[in-house]
Amino acid sequence: MKKLFFLVAVICPILLNGCTSVEERAYAYGITNSMSLSNSDALQIMSYVEEKVSFEPILVTSDSESGADAAAFNEFERRIAAVDDEELSAMFSGDDYYELALERDLGNGDVLRLSTKSWPVQP
């Protein structure tokens, strides 16, 4: 099954604000794409998510392997909830899969990843 992992990096708003090309924005978001998306499709998806998710900084701290700041996680969930499942799903087809997540580099080689929604996309 083809999968599309759509990782939204909301921790770097300065970088995101300076990105103009699809490739630069995809890099800033940390998009890993296992299917061939055209630039126009990628731009449509990124623009839609940008419109729905505020890219103001979210401070995430880690106390343990699975620990994360509850307020930051709740705020990210609130932002992701603004993304309309059906509208975003319509941008994909077949067995594609996508996910919205928050990532933060903890500075020691580890990355804290908070996945809040993932959907199999219905044809």
The predicted-structure confidence for 67-123, as pLDDT tens digits, reads as follows 445 555 566 566 666 665 666 556 555 455 555 554 555 555 555 554 444 444 443
The CB density around residue 104, as the number of other CB atoms within 10 Å, is 22
Q: Percent of the chain at pLDDT above 90?
A: 0
- The partner residues of 120 in beta bridges, in order of sequence, read 97
Task: Read off φ and ψ for residue 27, nearest 5 degrees.
Answer: -65, -45
For the stretch 32-74, pLDDT in tens is 343 445 556 656 666 666 665 554 444 444 443 344 455 555 6
Looking at residue 72, its pLDDT comes to 56
Q: Give residues with Cβ within 8 angstroms of 83, minimum separation 6.
A: 48, 49, 52, 53, 100, 117
Alpha-carbon distance of 101 to 41, in angstroms, equals: 20
For residues 62 and 25, give the distance between their C-alpha atoms in angstroms, rounded to a whole number. 27
φ, ψ dihedrals at 118, nearest 5°: -145, 140
**pLDDT at residue 117 in the model:** 45
pTM of this prediction exceeds 0.85: no
How high is the pLDDT of residue 101? 52
Q: Where are the alpha helices (DSSP H) in 7-65?
A: 13-18, 22-29, 39-52
